[in-house]
Amino acid sequence: MCTINWRRFCEEWRIWIRPLLIVTYGIFAIIVVPLLIVNSVKDGFTKKDQFILIGGLFVLSAVPVSIWHIIQHVIHFTKPILQKHIIRILWMVPIYALNAWIGLFFPKHSIYVDSLRECYEAYVIYNFMVYLLHYLNLGMDLEATMEYKPQVYHFFPLCCMRPWPMGREFIHNCKHGILQYTVVRPITTFISV
């Protein structure tokens, strides 16, 4: 009997996830903000403490908004082919915010957290490309439409290079360039660490 109620409770997660998120954030804010203030005042409220306090307040305002949007996409998951990429892109806000805040706490060790952020950034750029391709292919055949567009030329200093023919080759070259960045960026990040 009890397992049936627990199972039903888990199946209806769309009903209780938002109130749980609000209560969790409220408890977190009630605990963290006073700790930040006490920690800042204890050390004499130095310039570093002021930056950590202000940064912490911005993190406390940015992260819940982003998490709320992520939860909204998960609850209303009507177009999975698009929304899974949107969710991955939205995770950049908490990652960037926490990365910057941790960098204020531990400036000598921030290169390690920055490295993880840069790897995720490359992954997000890939997801943004896939999102755009899926979005543009929903209403039309992107490659066929691009064939009828006027030729786009490279800008300076690459203007002397042969332009990419519009259509399939243009889309392929864009994909190829982004995938190269997605692979090269984590490798260069690893080398810099």
The total domain count for the chain is 1
What does the alpha-carbon distance between residue 88 and residue 176 come to, in Å, rounded to a whole number? Answer: 21
Point out the residues of the chain with pLDDT beneath 50. 1
Q: How far is CA 66 from CA 62, 149, 151, 174, in A?
A: 6, 37, 39, 29
| DSSP classification of residue 62 | H
| Structural domain includes residue 46 | yes
| Structural domain includes residue 149 | no
| Structural domain includes residue 72 | yes
Cβ within 8 Å of residue 168, ≥6 positions away: 143, 146, 147
180 within 8 A of 117, measured Cβ to Cβ: no
| In the chain, alpha helices (H) | 2-11, 13-42, 47-75, 80-90, 92-105, 110-139, 142-147, 168-192
| Structural domain includes residue 50 | yes
| Structural domain includes residue 81 | yes
- Whole-prediction pTM: 0.79
Domain containing 17: what range?
2-106
| Structural domain includes residue 65 | yes
pLDDT of residue 78: 92
The per-residue pLDDT for range 5-40, each reduced to its tens digit, is 777 777 777 788 888 888 888 888 888 778 877 877
Which residue, 82, 92, 177, 91, is CA-closest to 131?
A: 82
| Structural domain includes residue 138 | no
| Structural domain includes residue 10 | yes
- Up-side HSE of residue 166: CA atoms within 13 Å toward CB? 11
